[in-house]
């Protein structure tokens, strides 16, 4: 798995590739998904480079308010774009002041790649079902954009270690094409942007996503039954 600092540099240099736009909110959700993916793979957040950053930002801002580091930086920046680039300045300062022990991540990744007993991962049952019940707990607020970013980060963490995609993951990848076909859109817009475009706001778009994804899964099941009966 790549060094987090290297990943952050790539995101800074080309935010559109990872986040669609330079946004502190998108970055925060993406990193949450990425770090959660590490945890599920046995590479916990310790050693990622982010540990301690939340407390450091709170001290820098001289606040005890229960707000994420992204929210604190955004509050002092005005716009998501300005806050996005300010994050990298703050994180560089944080790393310079931080005295951490040498990471054994490379050894952990080698161990993971040699381990053939990766647990089966069901993207719907393990992530989406929990998000559907309590989106605020997982995303901070009901937002289809945040959901998209979390899933992108989570997926990247698994790909970096070389975990082959499971059947539910491959099934979810086809959801993009299905949404484009349903709405008659052939542009390169992500499924979240398409659904958001046809919704009043982020909240409604998230609700609509779960309705559409359930419809998508049911159609796939119906198709499989039809093919098996034929």
Comparing 118 with 199, which gets the higher pLDDT? 199
| 74 lies in the same domain as 108 | yes
User: Is the Cβ–Cβ distance between 36 and 156 less than 8 Å?
Assistant: no
Q: Which two tokens stand for residue 219?
A: 């159609």
Mean pLDDT to the nearest integer, 124-138: 80
Residue 133 pLDDT more than 90? no
| 152 lies in the same domain as 203 | no
Residue 169 lies inside a defined structural domain of this protein = no
Domain boundaries, position 115: 4-164
Q: Which two tokens stand for residue 217?
A: 């899964």
Comparing 104 with 155, which gets the higher pLDDT? 155
Quick: pLDDT tens for 178-229: 999 999 988 889 999 999 999 999 999 999 999 999 999 888 776 554 445 5
Report d(CA 15, CA 26) in Å as an integer.
10
Residue 176 pLDDT more than 70? yes
Residue 72 binned pLDDT confidence (cut-offs 50, 70, 90) = very high
Whole-Å CA distances, 92 to 40, 49, 57, 59, 101 = 27, 11, 12, 16, 17
Mean pLDDT to the nearest integer, 28-43: 86
Q: Which two tokens stand for residue 6?
A: 């290297």
Percentage of the chain lying above the pLDDT 70 cut:
80
Looking at the structure of the chain, the number of domains it has is 2
pLDDT of 117: 46
| 29 lies in the same domain as 119 | yes
Residue 111 pLDDT more than 70? no
| 134 lies in the same domain as 208 | no
pLDDT of 81: 96
| 81 lies in the same domain as 109 | yes
| 121 lies in the same domain as 178 | no
Residue 62 binned pLDDT confidence (cut-offs 50, 70, 90) = confident
Q: How far is CA 100 from the centre of its chain?
A: 26
| 35 lies in the same domain as 146 | yes
Residue 114 binned pLDDT confidence (cut-offs 50, 70, 90) = very low
Residue where a domain terminates, one of 121, 146, 164: 164
pLDDT of 148: 95
The pLDDT mean for the chain works out to: 83
Vertex 77, ends 50 and 157: CA angle to 5°? 30
Residue 135 lies inside a defined structural domain of this protein = yes
Residue 88 pLDDT more than 90? yes
pLDDT of 83: 96
Mean pLDDT to the nearest integer, 39-54: 73
| 99 lies in the same domain as 193 | no
| 98 lies in the same domain as 210 | no
């Amino acid at each position: 798995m790549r060094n987090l600092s290297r990943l952050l540099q790539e995101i800074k240099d080309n935010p559109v590739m990872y986040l669609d736009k330079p946004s502190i909110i998108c970055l925060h959700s993406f990193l949450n998904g990425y770090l959660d993916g590490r945890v599920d793979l046995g590479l916990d957040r310790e050693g990622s480079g982010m540990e301690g950053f939340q407390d450091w930002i709170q001290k820098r801002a001289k606040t005890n308010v229960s707000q994420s580091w992204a929210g604190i930086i955004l509050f002092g920046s005005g716009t998501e774009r300005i806050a996005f680039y300010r994050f990298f300045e703050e994180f560089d300062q944080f790393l310079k002041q931080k005295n951490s022990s040498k990471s054994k991540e490379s050894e952990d990744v080698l161990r993971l790649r040699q381990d053939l007993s990766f647990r089966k991962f069901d993207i719907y049952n393990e992530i989406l079902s929990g998000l559907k019940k309590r989106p605020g707990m997982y995303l901070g607020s009901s937002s289809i954009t945040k959901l998209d970013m979390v899933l992108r980060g989570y997926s990247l963490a698994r790909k970096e270690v070389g975990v082959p995609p499971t059947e539910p993951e491959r099934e979810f990848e086809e959801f993009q094409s299905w949404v484009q076909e349903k709405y008659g859109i052939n542009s390169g817009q992500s499924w979240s942007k398409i659904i958001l475009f046809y919704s009043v706001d982020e909240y409604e778009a998230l609700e609509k996503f779960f309705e559409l994804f359930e419809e998508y899964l049911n159609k796939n099941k119906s198709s499989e039954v039809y093919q098996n009966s034929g």
